[in-house]
């Protein structure tokens, strides 16, 4: 008994230690994060099968997958009349293609990267599957990029289409033979094409009709027929099922000997109508149109009838698609309701220009004065309200006014009279002021705007003075006195770009742009031969340079027209973002290629790119020859 008792105690202690350690709470450590995409382990039919006579494609994976984005991403080429039905059963994805498959045709299913695993959403990159309904399997392909013709930015989500016809305008009313969509880099591949010659187009398909049937859809086209290429296109039968993780997208891009570039543009389409109109001010009517107004534009006041001919003044914006009608007759400006007939040219159903009349009503109600008024004693006579005054706006600033800039004066409304002799300009000379002679003119678009020009000197101080009552509006209200002192910017503040251009063989426009996504045009210079151009008086900042090949020498970029077989005018970018410092001169030489599709701007001040982005950029560069036209 004495021997058994110690044994029982030791057994009990061991039990306590075991159960306590097992009950100790803690978080499981787990394994490494899953970063491997799902793999295809079985297909029905097999990859690149022939004589397929079914209607369903089944893909079985090594794990559960999520296909929520597949319904929008899946591209079947040649395109089907109806969208395929998509469902999953356990680890198998089933694609029901319906009963519209053509005989003796090779079909390609592009899943993009829409298939992801259920755990970590790892995508199966650039997955494609192909089969044939006949005894032959087509394996030809083409690929390339879709770019915005005006700024060379890649276009994502564009539909690239091939038509087996020599008719240039085929995609306006016929269904394509093959299709693909572009990725975030504007890259596309159309595979499993039958031998032949095709028209190649790109379209931002707003109504998913696979036809160019809306004038506001952006389009691109090649103006020559193309033949698909016989290349060894990487496929998933050898590269995915076998476990090879090398990017199929990279292989496909590198396989392209001659990428086809499609430059996307908006055709000019005349769709004129009144977009909006308003009368937010008693003496001002605003009209906004969708297109530039022609000289045939007219307006007539129906009610009340004007008592004199000079009852209004019209002020167009520079693009003539909006205007302001100023009521210079005070009787009309004080009338609450006006009825007006507006006539302008529109395009009819046959695209002929006809005159259209719109009757518009303009109402204005003077807002109530809600400001609190001071109470006055009954015996106190009320003083008359002071006459309202109007004030000029001007663009000078106390220091740092640009040496190349003109003074701009702007009245808030048209002036009935303006005594220009009441405008004075002085220069500070020691402790005295010297009055200057200067040039002054009225804006050609607006009678409310005036400009003063003088050859300013760096760091000198000037004073602009305009007498009170120098001008009056049509209500008889005078202008206030204007007295503004300003100093010109110092010479050392500015920078300069001197650019030597070589390879010019046509009319061109060199544009200096700000370094923003909007790429605002700051200066532009027309050229027609090799030589040196200069952009002076630049603020310390970053700049881009763009060249437009101005075929018709009209001083602006022109879009394309498919009916007339006209491509948009070519655009090129200098490959550097130029950073300028004060008192700094940059000299650059630009040797122009025959044609350029890439927009690789080097900006040394940007943070270093991560390895993934570097890899993506190197893939794009290695797959393309940007120095010559592929067609």
> In terms of domains, do 359 and 446 share one?
no
- DSSP code of 265? B
Q: What tokens were used for 149? A: 């013709």
Residue pLDDT, tens place only, 210-255: 999 887 899 999 999 999 988 665 554 444 444 443 455 565 666 6
Residue 122 lies in a domain: yes
Q: Which of 534, 532, 535, 509 is nearest to 522 (CA)?
A: 535
Residue pLDDT, tens place only, 108-120: 999 998 999 998 8
Q: Print the SS3 string covering 332-359.
A: HHCCCEEEEEEEEEEECCCCCEEEEEEE
b/e sequence 64-88, b meaning 16+ C-beta within 10 Å: ebbbeebeeebbbbbbeeeebeeee
- pTM assigned to the model: 0.81
> In terms of domains, do 412 and 511 share one?
no
Give the per-residue pLDDT at 235: 54
Give the per-residue pLDDT at 246: 43
Geometric angle at alpha carbon 598, from 596 and 601, rounded to 5°: 115
Q: Catalogue the E-assigned strands of 157-297.
A: 159-163, 178-181, 187-193, 199-203, 219-221, 260-264, 274-281, 284-289
Which of the pair, 32 or 38, is modelled with greater confidence? 38
| Token pair 């200096």: residue | 512
Which of the pair, 10 or 206, is modelled with greater confidence? 206
Q: Which of 250, 198, 258 is nearest to 226 (CA)?
A: 198
Domain membership of residue 575 as a residue range: 494-592
Alpha-carbon span 529 to 575, nearest angstrom: 20
Q: Domain ends where: 312, 346, 363? A: 363
Give the per-residue pLDDT at 252: 60
Residue 607 lies in a domain: no
DSSP 174-194: S--SEEEE--TTSEEEEEEEP
Give the per-residue pLDDT at 248: 55
Q: Are residues 264 and 218 in contact, defined by beta-carbon separation less than 8 angstroms? A: yes
For the domain that residue 457 is a member of, what is the CATH number? 2.60.40.3710
Chain-centroid distance, C-alpha 332: 43
DSSP 399-418: EEE-TTPPEEEE-SS-EEEE
Residue 318 lies in a domain: yes
Task: Using pLDDT thresholds of 50, 70 and 90, give the confidence band for residue 11.
Answer: low
Which of the pair, 169 or 4, is modelled with greater confidence? 169
> In terms of domains, do 325 and 245 share one?
no
> In terms of domains, do 460 and 398 share one?
yes
- Give the count of alpha carbons within 13 A of 379, CB side only: 0
Residue 552 lies in a domain: yes
For the domain that residue 579 is a member of, what is the CATH number? 2.60.40.1120
Give the per-residue pLDDT at 522: 96
> In terms of domains, do 123 and 187 share one?
no
Arithmetic mean of pLDDT, 335-342: 96
> Domain total for the chain?
5
Alpha-carbon span 575 to 578, nearest angstrom: 9
Give the per-residue pLDDT at 254: 64
Q: Are residues 74 and 84 in contact, defined by beta-carbon separation less than 8 angstroms? A: yes
Q: Is the peptide bond before 304 cis (omega within 30 degrees of 0)?
A: yes
Alpha-carbon span 527 to 607, nearest angstrom: 35
Q: What tokens were used for 56? A: 């369903």
Give the per-residue pLDDT at 232: 63
> In terms of domains, do 127 and 51 share one?
yes
b/e sequence 170-209, b meaning 16+ C-beta within 10 Å: bbeebebbbbbbbbebbbbbbbbbbeeebbbbbbbbeeee
For the domain that residue 121 is a member of, what is the CATH number? 2.60.40.1220
Q: Which of 419, 548, 405 is nearest to 486 (CA)?
A: 405
> In terms of domains, do 88 and 187 share one?
no
Helix (H, G, I), strand (E, B), or coil: what is residue 4?
A: helix
> In terms of domains, do 285 and 251 share one?
no
Residue 601 lies in a domain: no
> In terms of domains, do 478 and 535 share one?
no
Residue 613 lies in a domain: no
Which residues lie across from 572 on neighbouring strands? 547
Q: Domain ends where: 441, 463, 492? A: 492
Task: Using pLDDT thresholds of 50, 70 and 90, give the confidence band for residue 631.
Answer: very low
Q: Domain ends where: 436, 462, 492? A: 492
- CA separation, residue 109 to residues 127, 130, 353, 472 (Å): 8, 6, 46, 73
Give the per-residue pLDDT at 369: 62
- Is pLDDT above 90 for 33? no
Arithmetic mean of pLDDT, 182-204: 95
> In terms of domains, do 45 and 78 share one?
yes
Q: Which long-range contacts (CB under 8 A, 24 or more apart) does 298-301 make?
A: 298/342, 298/343, 298/344, 299/325, 299/340, 299/341, 299/342, 299/343, 300/340, 300/341, 300/343, 301/332, 301/338, 301/339, 301/340
Residue 4 lies in a domain: no
- Give the count of alpha carbons within 13 A of 450, CB side only: 21
Which of the pair, 372 or 260, is modelled with greater confidence? 260
Q: Which of 485, 484, 473, 423 is nearest to 450 (CA)?
A: 423
Whole-angstrom Cα Rg for the chain: 36
Count of CB atoms situated within 10 Å of the CB of 601: 15
Arithmetic mean of pLDDT, 299-312: 92
Q: Is the peptide bond before 474 cis (omega within 30 degrees of 0)?
A: no
Q: Print the SS3 string covering 16-31.
A: HHHHHHHHCCCCCCCC
Alpha-carbon span 256 to 262, nearest angstrom: 15
Residue pLDDT, tens place only, 464-501: 999 999 999 998 999 999 999 999 999 999 999 999 99
Helix (H, G, I), strand (E, B), or coil: what is residue 613?
A: helix
Q: Are residues 40 and 241 in contact, defined by beta-carbon separation less than 8 angstroms? A: yes
Q: Are residues 250 and 618 in contact, defined by beta-carbon separation less than 8 angstroms? A: no
Give the per-residue pLDDT at 577: 97
b/e sequence 557-581, b meaning 16+ C-beta within 10 Å: bbebebeeeebbbbbbbbebbbbbe
> In terms of domains, do 468 and 524 share one?
no
Give me the percent of the chain exceeding a pLDDT of 70.
84
Arithmetic mean of pLDDT, 55-69: 94
> In terms of domains, do 248 and 231 share one?
yes
E strand or H helix at 471: strand 471-473
Lowest mean pLDDT among 84-98, 377-391, 546-560: 377-391
Residue 435 lies in a domain: yes
Q: Are residues 426 and 462 in contact, defined by beta-carbon separation less than 8 angstroms? A: yes
């Amino acid at each position: 008994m004495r021997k058994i008792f110690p044994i029982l105690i030791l057994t009990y202690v061991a039990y306590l230690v075991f159960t306590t350690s097992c009950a100790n709470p803690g978080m499981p450590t787990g394994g490494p994060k899953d970063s491997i995409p799902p793999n295809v382990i079985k297909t029905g039919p097999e990859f690149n099968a022939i004589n397929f006579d079914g209607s369903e494609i089944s893909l079985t994976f090594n794990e559960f997958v999520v296909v929520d984005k597949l319904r929008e991403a899946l591209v079947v080429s040649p395109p089907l009349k109806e969208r395929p039905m998509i469902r999953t059963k356990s680890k198998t994805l089933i694609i029901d293609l319906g009963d519209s498959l053509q005989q003796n045709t090779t079909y390609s299913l592009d899943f993009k990267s829409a298939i992801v695993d259920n755990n970590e959403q790892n995508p199966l990159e650039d997955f494609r599957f192909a089969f044939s309904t006949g005894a032959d399997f087509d394996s030809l392909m083409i690929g390339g990029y879709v770019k915005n013709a005006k700024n060379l930015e890649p276009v994502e989500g564009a539909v690239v289409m091939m038509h087996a016809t020599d008719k240039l305008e085929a995609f306006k009313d016929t269904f394509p033979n093959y299709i693909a969509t572009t990725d975030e880099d504007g890259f596309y591949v159309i595979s499993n094409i039958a031998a032949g010659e095709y028209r190649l187009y790109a379209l931002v398909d707003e109504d998913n009709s696979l036809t160019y049937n809306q004038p506001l859809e952006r389009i691109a086209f090649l103006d020559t027929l193309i033949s698909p290429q016989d290349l060894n296109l990487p496929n998933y039968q050898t590269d995915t099922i076998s476990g090879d993780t090398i990017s199929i997208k990279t292989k496909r891009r590198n396989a392209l000997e001659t990428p086809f570039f499609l430059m996307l543009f908006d055709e000019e389409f005349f769709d004129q109508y009144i977009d909006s109109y308003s009368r937010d001010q008693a003496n001002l009517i605003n009209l906004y149109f969708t297109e530039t107004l022609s000289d045939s534009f007219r307006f007539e006041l129906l009610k009340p009838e004007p008592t004199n001919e000079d009852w209004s003044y019209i002020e167009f914006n520079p693009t003539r698609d909006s205007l302001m009608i100023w009521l210079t007759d005070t009787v009309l400006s004080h009338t609450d309701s006006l009825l007006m007939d507006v006539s302008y040219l529109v395009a009819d159903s046959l695209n002929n220009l006809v005159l259209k009349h719109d009757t518009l009503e303009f109402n204005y109600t003077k807002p109530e004065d809600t400001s609190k008024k001071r109470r006055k004693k009954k015996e106190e006579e009320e003083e008359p309200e002071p006459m309202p005054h109007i004030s000029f706006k001007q663009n000078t600033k106390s220091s740092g006014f640009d040496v190349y800039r003109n003074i701009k004066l702007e009245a808030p409304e048209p002036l009935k009279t303006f005594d220009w002799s009441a405008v004075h300009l002085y220069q500070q000379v020691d402790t005295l002021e010297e009055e200057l002679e200067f040039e002054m003119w009225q804006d050609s678009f607006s009678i409310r705007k005036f400009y003063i020009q003088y050859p300013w000197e760096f760091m000198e101080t000037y004073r602009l003075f305009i007498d009170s009552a120098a001008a009056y509006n049509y209500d008889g209200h005078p202008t206030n006195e204007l007295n503004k002192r300003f100093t010109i910017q110092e010479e050392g503040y500015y920078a300069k770009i001197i650019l030597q251009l070589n390879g010019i063989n046509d009319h061109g426009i060199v544009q200096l742009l700000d370094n923003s996504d909007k790429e605002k045009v700051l200066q532009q210079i027309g050229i027609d031969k090799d030589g040196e151009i200069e952009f002076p008086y630049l603020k310390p900042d970053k700049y881009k340079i763009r060249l437009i090949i101005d075929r018709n020498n009209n001083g602006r970029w022109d879009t394309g027209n498919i009916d007339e077989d006209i491509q948009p005018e070519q655009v090129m970018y200098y490959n550097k973002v130029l950073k300028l410092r004060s008192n700094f001169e940059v000299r650059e030489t630009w040797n122009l290629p025959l044609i350029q599709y890439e927009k690789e701007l080097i900006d040394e001040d940007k943070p270093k790119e991560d390895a993934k982005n570097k890899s993506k950029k190197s893939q794009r560069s290695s797959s393309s020859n940007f120095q010559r036209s592929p067609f």
